[in-house]
Amino acid sequence: MEVVTLHNMPQNTGWIEVVCGCMYSGKTEELIRRLRRAQIAKQKVLIFKPKIDNRYSSNQIVSHSEQSLPSIVVDNPSEILNLSKDAQVIGIDEGQFFSPDLVEVCEELANAGKRVLVAGLDQDYRGRPFGPIPKLLAVAEYITKTLAICMVCGNPADRTQRTTEQHELVVVGARGVYEARCRKCFVPPTTD
Find the radius of gyration of the CA atoms of the chain. Answer: 17
Residue 141 within a domain: yes
pLDDT of residue 175: 60
pLDDT averaged over 10-residue windows placed end to end, the chain, 192 residues: 57 91 94 94 94 67 68 93 95 95 98 97 95 97 97 97 76 74 94 63
pLDDT of residue 70: 72
Nearest to 166 by CA among 192, 186, 185: 192
Residue 113 within a domain: yes
> Which residues have a catalytic role annotated?
94
- Looking up residue 99, the CATH number of its domain turns out to be 3.40.50.300
Residue 53 within a domain: yes
Residue 165 within a domain: no
Domain count along the chain: 1
Residue 28 within a domain: yes
Cα–Cα dist 145/151, whole Å: 18
Q: How far is CA 43 from CA 16, 40, 108, 147, 148, in A?
A: 16, 7, 19, 29, 31
- Parent domain of 44: 9-148
Q: How far is CA 136 from CA 86, 120, 131, 170, in A?
A: 23, 10, 10, 19
pLDDT of residue 8: 59
